[in-house]
Amino acid sequence: MSLEIRPTTTAPGPEPSTQRPPSSATPLPPPPTNRRPRWILIGLGATLLVAALAFMTVGAKGSWDFVLPFRGTKLLAMALVGVAVAVSTVMFQTVTDNRILTPSIMGFDALYLLLQTTLVFSIGSARMTAIPAPAKFLLESAVMVTFGVLLYRWLLSGRRRSVHVLVLAGIVLGVFFRSLSSFMTRLIDPNEFQVLQDAMFASFNSFDRSLVWLAALLLGGAVATAWALRRRLDVLLLGRERATMLGVDHQRTVGLVLVVVAVLVSVSTALVGPITFFGLLVANLAYRIAGSHRHAVVMPVAALLGVLALVAGQTVLEQVFEFDTALAVIIEFLGGIVFLALLMRGDKR
């Protein structure tokens, strides 16, 4: 150890430097002002602006009166989903004290599929499409929020707080929901199955445009709550006991965070469909480049990364691949690789 203990501290007796700041003896250098987060945010913001401009204008054929609102709605949907997935993942990882689980891995996507399958199975695709879109959207969101809050509360309360139990529960629930869905898909009409298959991958091409503003309202509220909680989230990084010592009501705060997470994940999934690994990808990238542990930095960085990935990916998809593949496929592929890499490295940060 390279530390030198000053003689005054090793000898019993009064220690003058304890009473006041050591102004004359060894002045501590002022804390370095960390400018990195600001530059990262500015850089990401600028890149996103370029990507958004490219998305709006490149390859536009026909009247701007059509192209701009058409692409604008799509852009808004991507912004909503990108922010919701990124912010919810960061918050979820903070309260569960891990960096490899995301809310969607915890059985959420499977539940969404089960919900769709059950609807098609029980009332048929014709009647399902007859339900007014906002009503169906709100119903799906409500069911998933309820499920999410109950599941997370159950998993995170009491003494069963280990990450291993969370992973196991997520996998078991996911398999359970998937088995139920696949059982039902075997029984339904093949034509009905076609309708269902559209719901299985996230898509920014086939979502219901009338729902974007409703989703924006719900997600806006959730994101505003997340922002208001940012300083308390920082303290939660220290774990339950230290947070309690610092005067944060741990149980209440975690409860509130989980409701916000459930709203964010449910609404964005109900809007465009499930994106399993996307959150993991942007959250872990954000931790790496943000240069700060503070949620006031990490959440915006993750959100910008999320939107950027979606917008850039969608632009490439539309202009380069000419819709030959699905955006979700690209994201899931990259996200899956990152997830495996994190597991292999045993990275718990």
Partner 1 sequence: MIDVLDAVKTYGEVRVVDGVRLALPSGGLTSIIGPNGAGKSTLLSLVARLVGLDGGRVLVDGLDVTTTKSDVLARRIAALRQENHLASRLTVRDLVTFGRYPHSKGRTTPEDLEHVARAIEFLDLGSLADRFLDEMSGGQRQRAFVAMVLCQDTDVLLLDEPLNNLDPRHAVAMMERLRAAADQLGKTVVVVVHDINVAAYYSDHIVAMSDGAVMFEGPPHAVICPEVLSDVYGLPVSVHTIEGRPHATYFR
- Closest to partner 1 by CB, 3 vs 320, is 3
- 191 touches partner 1 by CB under 8 A: no
Select the span of 41-49, 107-115, 241-249, 316-324 touching partner 1 (CB under 8 A). 241-249
- 160 touches partner 1 by CB under 8 A: no
Binder among 48, 84, 89, 97 for partner 1 (CB under 8 A): 97
Binder among 109, 192, 234, 332 for partner 1 (CB under 8 A): 234
**For every residue of the chain, which 3-state class applies, written as one string?**
CCCCCCHHHHCCCCCHHHCCCCCCCCCCCCCCCCCHHHHHHHHHHHHHHHHHHHHHHCCCCCCHHHHHHHHHHHHHHHHHHHHHHHHHHHHHHHHHCCCCCCCHHHHHHHHHHHHHHHHHHHHHHHHHHHCCHHHHHHHHHHHHHHHHHHHHHHHHCCCCCCHHHHHHHHHHHHHHHHHHHHHHHHHCCHHHHHHHHHCCCCCCCCCCHHHHHHHHHHHHHHHHHHHHCHHHHHHHCCCHHHHHHCCCCHHHHHHHHHHHHHHHHHHHHHHHCCCCCHHHHHHHHHHHHHCCCCHHHHHHHHHHHHHHHHHHHHHHHHHCCCCCCCHHHHHHHHHHHHHHHHHHHCCCC
Binder among 38, 127, 160, 242 for partner 1 (CB under 8 A): 242
Q: Taking CB under 8 A as the rule, which mask of x and - marks residues 292-321 in contact with partner 1?
A: -x----------------------------
- 32 touches partner 1 by CB under 8 A: yes
Tokens 């947070």 belong to which residue? 243
Q: Taking CB under 8 A as the rule, which mask of x and - marks residues 270-289 in contact with partner 1?
A: -----------------x--
- Closest to partner 1 by CB, 13 vs 132, is 13
- 3 touches partner 1 by CB under 8 A: yes
- 18 touches partner 1 by CB under 8 A: yes
Binder among 6, 36, 38, 209 for partner 1 (CB under 8 A): 6
Size of the site for partner 1 (CB under 8 A): 45
Which of 116, 114, 87 lies closest to 102, judged by CA? 87
- 248 touches partner 1 by CB under 8 A: yes
- 167 touches partner 1 by CB under 8 A: no
- Closest to partner 1 by CB, 12 vs 62, is 12
Binder among 42, 131, 245, 343 for partner 1 (CB under 8 A): 245
- Report the interface residues with partner 1, using CB under 8 A: 1-6, 9-12, 14-15, 17-22, 26, 28, 31-32, 97-99, 230-232, 234-235, 237-239, 241-242, 244-249, 287, 293, 348-349
